[in-house]
Amino acid sequence: MWYSLPGRCSSKKFWNQTGDCEKHDPSGECPPGVIPSGERTCTYSYQKVGEILINELEGIDSFSEFVKEGGREYDRMVDGGKNMDFWNKIGDPNACQQRIDKVIMLFLKKYPDQPVLHDPICDFDVDKFYPHFPNGTFDDLDMQTMPLHQIEMPTNLAAEKALAAQGETTTTAAVTEDRL
């Protein structure tokens, strides 16, 4: 199963990363053999044991041939593909579970000697990782009236709003076009 995990300088696009950002934005990857502690520099570990390709899941032998024959992986206007159905009903929980099941079955077929791993228990401690995180949620954001270029807000938006309400300022600038 694919998990997206934060690397070094994850708050910046690759071409904007500098050695300096690693000091403030380290990876959460633990050194090999170290069990995650929850400290900001050791929140996860992994070991690559195999891979499956998206074309294998979708049943596409040649993507160029698939496209040449009028195929399309997914069209949001019809909530489905053309000449394939893997992504049909993209937001439907049952269809999503079927896709997950297909991933698991394909992986087990390719790597029968690998153990079946269950989803890990999440013991993430928000207070430990974000000691200054304010109370509240992002539910009060009005995404309908917010300008499109501001929808991908920095993760510390709630902190900025809380400080602004108290008349304080922060050094984090609003999201700019180069972050989108």
Looking at the fold, whether 38 and 126 belong to one and the same domain comes out as yes
Looking at the fold, whether 41 and 125 belong to one and the same domain comes out as yes
- The answer to whether residue 142 scores a pLDDT higher than 60 is no
Looking at the fold, whether 147 and 64 belong to one and the same domain comes out as no
- The answer to whether residue 91 scores a pLDDT higher than 80 is yes
Highest mean pLDDT among 47-51, 110-114, 135-139, 142-146: 110-114
Looking at the fold, whether 143 and 127 belong to one and the same domain comes out as no
Looking at the fold, whether 75 and 153 belong to one and the same domain comes out as no
Q: What is the pTM of this model?
A: 0.53
Question: Distance between CA 100 and CA 118 in Å, rounded?
Answer: 13
pLDDT tens, position by position, 4-37:
677 777 777 777 777 787 777 788 889 888 998 8
Instruction: Determine the average pLDDT of the residues in 88-112.
Output: 94
Under 8 Å CB-to-CB from 57, ≥6 apart: which residues? 86, 99, 102, 103, 106
Residue 66, burial from CB neighbour count under 10 angstroms (0-12, 13-18, 19+) = buried
Looking at the fold, whether 69 and 152 belong to one and the same domain comes out as no
Looking at the fold, whether 19 and 61 belong to one and the same domain comes out as no
| Helices marked H in the chain | 21-24, 54-58, 63-68, 93-110, 126-129, 157-165
Domain of 63, in residue numbers: 54-110
Q: Which is more confident, 94 or 171?
A: 94
Lowest mean pLDDT: which of 27-31, 70-74, 134-138? Answer: 134-138
**DSSP per-residue letters across 118-147:** PPPP----HHHHSTTPPSS-STT--TTTS-
- pLDDT for 38 equals 81
Looking at the fold, whether 151 and 167 belong to one and the same domain comes out as yes
- pLDDT for 177 equals 35
Looking at the fold, whether 124 and 41 belong to one and the same domain comes out as yes
Instruction: Determine the average pLDDT of the residues in 68-73.
Output: 95
Looking at the fold, whether 35 and 69 belong to one and the same domain comes out as no
Looking at the fold, whether 104 and 127 belong to one and the same domain comes out as no
* Domain tally, the chain: 3
- The answer to whether residue 180 scores a pLDDT higher than 70 is no
Looking at the fold, whether 137 and 125 belong to one and the same domain comes out as no
pLDDT tens, position by position, 162-179:
545 555 444 433 333 333
